[in-house]
Amino acid sequence: MARTSRAFALLFVLPLAGCAVPAAWGVTADDARTHLVRAVDQTQELAGGSWTQSDDAVPRGCVIPPWTAGSRASVLRIGTPPIDPQHAADLVDAAWVSWGYEVTRATIDPVIEVQGSFGGELIVFRVSEHAMSLQGEGECSPAR
């Protein structure tokens, strides 16, 4: 449960501290969704441009160790290209690190990819001279 405890702690660091923190697995479905959406929304603001929201309304399945069925929210956003893709990637990278995310980065030329994980939450930011994208899946929480 170390990962969950860490995620718990970080929840209070982010501007999500006002969310109710449940007792059992760590986060409720609503909390997990709120955390994901807020992080993505803030990343959009940071990167600038205008964005189209195509979030999937249907939660995706996941497993809470060892065998409990859970669900997780997902997001898909497509944004207009920034003036400087490299700078946008740097901004997002630095912000996510400051928010407590574990960040990795790769280049699939001509696209820069930044991945941030926060407990079981995963966000992928990609940027090119044509567009930006944000995809993410939230922390796994017990299925309703």
Partner 1 sequence: MLFDVAAVLSASVALGPVAEAFGVHEITAYDTAVVLVLDLAPVVQPIPDAQPATDGGSRFGQADGVLRQLSQISISDIDTFVASNPTAIDSLLSDPPLAAEVSIWWNSLDGQRRVALRSATPQLVGNLDGIPFVYRDIANRSMLTSTIDELEHVIANENGRTMVENAKMQLRMLTSISEALGGEYADSRRTLMSLDVRGQGKAAIVLGDLRTADYVTFMVPGMFFTIEGQMGYWTDAAARLADEQRAWLALLGDHPDASVATVAWIGYQTPNLTNVGSIDNALEGRDLLAGAIQGLQSLRGAEQPYITVIGHSYGSTAALMALTEYDFQIDALAVVGSPGSPAKSVGELHVRNGNVYVGEAPWDPVPDSAFFGSDPGSASYGAHVFGAVGTTDPLTHKALAASFGHIEYFSPGTESLRNLALIGIGEGALVTDGRPAPSGILAH
Nearer to partner 1, 42 or 128 (CB): 128
Closest approach, Cβ 143 to partner 1, in A, equals 10
Closest approach, Cβ 130 to partner 1, in A, equals 3
Nearer to partner 1, 26 or 59 (CB): 59
Nearer to partner 1, 12 or 130 (CB): 130
Give helix 85-98 / helix 29-47 axis angle, nearest 10°: 140
Distance CA 26, CA 113 (A): 29
Burial of 112 (0-12, 13-18, 19+ CB in 10 A): buried
- Interface contacts to partner 1, rule CB under 8 A: 54, 56-61, 74, 76, 78, 104-111, 115, 117, 122, 124, 126-133, 135, 137
